[in-house]
Structure 1
């Protein structure tokens, strides 16, 4: 495809320390399509082996990023080091494990991969669940602010809870129920496993359905097979469930039927606040023999120091990791993760060049944070949020990138988390200045805000957004663009086929990066601290830290 580079000069109005306004004529940011393309190719190459944490691929990736940040003129972000190291545990379950479900109609033996997926986060060589009663707990949500408790009146200690994915608002599209079509954190699989553990269950199985999960079963199979990483805790993660896992929706329907239950009717009942848990008249048994490897992994952190407000920080972030290699596969064994997220990582390098080559340094410091283990549950960003290298109250905002636009320029810009914070105002001004349109997340039911690294910062109170490419293609329109995206999710997302292609049109990514730079640069030259909007679940933490 022909690549169209749009050069846009922008006059931005910034607020100075004394409160007076001044106009700063920005130099065209140094963001180069050729350099972006070349770095994506390197990061997504077979040589980097899918960039799995704690692997030879990590070693190559983090040293490559260190080199690129040094070349851009950035300083180490962790004292005299470009790395923030953390302890990880890698647990690999034996894929020969068979899940047995005894029910009124007999016994089913499910094969690991196509018929169930399960793992443990406990740092033990074997976990075993034996004849554990299976209980359907609807969406598995306890949300006092919504008057909701799916566990009310049922004791699930030692049992296996079976849970619907997403939340009741998605199922009903009722805007008055949770947040309607938009997924809340209660709809995320991470929350559901955490809540089941708090309730004392031994195991939790989420029922997979493609629409509410937002990805096909192949993504479940690919993402949770092989080595699974966690942050290593002092209690060896014994506060987690014995078994966490998924079962396909068609099998769940069959299981409900054997118990004399109507799966569709019970799903409908589960969307009501007075839902009561139901026994499936079945027992689950599973033994997982695990290979345990404790290891280290690293976030890569580089900083461009500010001038008169250098103790305050803007964070640009993207995750460098992907799924590594699976030597059990025939043919291509490398999950190259070209779009997810070699593109965003290479974009971070471009932003570093843009800031470092600006005519004047920013007033506030700018941190470039390439985090590890996003694919394993946002672990690198979680570790940073729990062990910040600068005080959270001095962290003005975080701007995340995860999968850049490879299809060419769009008329719009998608903001994941739009409506949550005053960062919207900065986005709107920058987008309007270049003649584009701001669009909220077009698929809020997929829970994208809770699925990438900005969420780790949001959880601890830092205003954070994820700026994505738009969907209204300049030449081919919205329908065409969305079709390409759907095909990527169905065919390439979290699969070895997510590989670099010379046919990509990165001109749209370049436009988006220039926009992200201008948003960040404005924040880096102001005095103000944008906050969360009233009613947002993160505002209380921010207000408390800023007192």
Structure 2
């Protein structure tokens, strides 16, 4: 299986009135890259190795049209038929706490059952895509693998959470004021304890998927089940 996160952002802002015009990308997607690095650390130091091998892919060019993941999915380092699943991390906003996780694309494959079960074991719950009209499942790096026939999910904390902590930044505020802006930087009130918990949740999901006895499969009624086939 392959775990992915994109390491690029959008460069220098031409429209910002701030002195600092660099789009730092702390949440988009340094938070995803950091989470993936920590997951790799957990796998490396685990007493029991997973039954399936795990590839960690840090791709670039996501903001330019999924270019890095598209190239890798087209020219993978192992046969594409041997890649059983992709779990992608893109912009986990770690400035607020929630016990709800979105797995974009989960309803299209058997990955949903494993993700949901793992979350419940960790006192979390899987919730439905709150914005299906935005077609987010086809807008990040997992879609490069989906087009090659690989079942995938894209994991983020709930974007519909009501934040009561006055020091936190809600997902709504982040998306309105910091997304693709220079202010997406380390001055945001990043909750590092929650960030560590988010790592553990993602590691548990990846570990359970890597050890699952059955290969993940698309649901027969999903449009995506038709992709990647000659």
The verdict on a shared fold, with TM-score over 0.5 as the criterion, is: yes
2:76 to 380, 388, 406: 388
Aligned to 2:129: 441
Give 1:407 shift: 2.5
Aligned to 1:21: none
Aligned residues: 228
Residues 349-398 of structure 1: per-residue CA shift (max 9 Å, x gap): 10111100111222211111000010011111111111111111100100
Whether 1:506 aligns to 2:192 is yes
Contact 1:469 1:509 in 2 (8 A): no
Give 1:332 shift: 1.7
1:412 to 93, 100, 104: 100
Question: Which of the two has greater helix per residue?
Answer: 2
Cα distance in 2, alignment partners of residues 435 and 326 from structure 1: 40
Aligned to 1:340: 28
Contact 1:405 1:509 in 2 (8 A): no
Whether 1:431 aligns to 2:110 is no
Contact 1:320 1:370 in 2 (8 A): yes
Give 1:318 shift: 0.3
Residues 72-122 of structure 1: per-residue CA shift (max 9 Å, x gap): xxxxxxxxxxxxxxxxxxxxxxxxxxxxxxxxxxxxxxxxxxxxxxxxxxx
* Greater displacement, 328-337 / 414-423: 328-337
Cα distance in 2, alignment partners of residues 327 and 435 from structure 1: 44
Residues 140-162 of structure 1: per-residue CA shift (max 9 Å, x gap): xxxxxxxxxxxxxxxxxxxxxxx
Aligned to 2:220: 534
Aligned to 1:320: 7
Aligned to 1:356: 44
Cα distance in 1, alignment partners of residues 62 and 160 from structure 2: 28
Whether 1:521 aligns to 2:185 is no
Cα distance in 1, alignment partners of residues 124 and 176 from structure 2: 29
Secondary structure of 1:533's counterpart equals coil
Contact 2:96 2:170 in 1 (8 A): no
Give 1:463 shift: 0.4
Q: What are structure 1's unaligned runs of at least 5 residues?
A: 1-313
- Tell which has more relative contact order, 1 or 2 (C-alpha 8 A, sep 6+): 2
Contact 1:410 1:472 in 2 (8 A): no
Give 1:513 shift: 2.0
Aligned to 2:149: 461
Aligned to 1:103: none
Give 1:540 shift: 2.6
Structure whose alpha-carbon radius of gyration is higher:
1
Contact 1:404 1:509 in 2 (8 A): no
RMSD over aligned Cα atoms: 2.4
Cα separation, partners in 2 of 1:416 and 1:538, compared to 1, 3 Å: same
Contact 2:85 2:152 in 1 (8 A): yes
Give 1:474 shift: 8.9
Q: What are structure 2's unaligned runs of at least 5 residues?
A: none
Contact 1:460 1:538 in 2 (8 A): no
Contact 2:161 2:170 in 1 (8 A): no
Give 1:472 shift: 6.3
Contact 2:103 2:153 in 1 (8 A): yes
TM-score normalised per structure 2? 0.90
Secondary structure of 2:4's counterpart equals strand
Secondary structure of 2:170's counterpart equals helix
Give 1:529 shift: 1.0
Cα separation, partners in 2 of 1:471 and 1:328, compared to 1, 3 Å: closer
Cα distance in 2, alignment partners of residues 326 and 437 from structure 1: 37
Aligned to 2:158: 470
- Moved runs in structure 1, 4+ residues, more than 6 A? 327-330
Give 1:327 shift: 7.3
Give 1:538 shift: 2.1
Whether 1:399 aligns to 2:72 is no
Give 1:470 shift: 2.1
Cα distance in 1, alignment partners of residues 203 and 58 from structure 2: 16
Cα distance in 1, alignment partners of residues 136 and 224 from structure 2: 16
Contact 1:326 1:333 in 2 (8 A): yes
Cα distance in 2, alignment partners of residues 405 and 491 from structure 1: 13
Cα distance in 1, alignment partners of residues 75 and 171 from structure 2: 35
Residues 415-447 of structure 1: per-residue CA shift (max 9 Å, x gap): 111311100011111011122221021111122
Contact 1:397 1:462 in 2 (8 A): yes
Secondary structure of 1:538's counterpart equals helix
Whether 1:374 aligns to 2:85 is no
